């Protein structure tokens, strides 16, 4: 699958997963003490994971829309979309793991590097 189409599908997948994860969490938000209350560590990280689906999904959509007009070579485009896929699925996963056990926070560099890879491909490998 070409990188543009893959990025667009991944971006829209992120949007869908953001909606689904928000709907699932929304079933429990009426309970003020759910996961220790609104400001608890667990609840904050689950919210962060939910919103990261939308944020990284948007970055991935813009990436897919930018590859062609910015003349990114196919081999570079593949690297960027792979990095963004790591970020799209890694960030919410690590947020959830961190909500469960705090030491998982040390893994945040993985999705951050993935997102940075995609962004750097657009910035530095386009014509």
Q: Tens digit of pLDDT for each residue in 66-82?
A: 999 999 999 999 999 99
Extract the tokens encoding 60: 């991935």
The model's pTM: 0.92
Cβ neighbour number for residue 36 with a 10 Å cutoff: 11
pLDDT tens, residue by residue, 74-122: 999 999 999 999 999 999 999 999 999 999 999 999 999 999 999 999 9
- Cα dihedral across residues 121, 9, 22, 105: positive or negative: negative
Residue 72 is classified by DSSP as: -
């Amino acid at each position: 699958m070409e990188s543009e189409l893959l990025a667009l599908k991944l971006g829209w997948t992120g949007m869908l997963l953001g909606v689904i994860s928000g709907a699932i969490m929304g079933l429990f938000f009426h309970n003020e003490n759910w996961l220790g209350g609104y400001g608890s560590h667990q609840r904050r990280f689950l919210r962060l994971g939910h919103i990261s689906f939308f944020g990284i999904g948007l970055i991935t959509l813009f990436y897919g829309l930018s590859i062609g007009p910015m003349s990114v070579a196919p081999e570079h485009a593949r690297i960027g979309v792979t990095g963004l896929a790591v970020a799209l699925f890694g960030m919410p996963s690590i947020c959830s793991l961190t909500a469960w056990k705090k030491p998982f926070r040390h893994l945040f560099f993985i999705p951050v590097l993935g997102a940075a890879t995609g962004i750097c491909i657009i910035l530095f490998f386009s014509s």
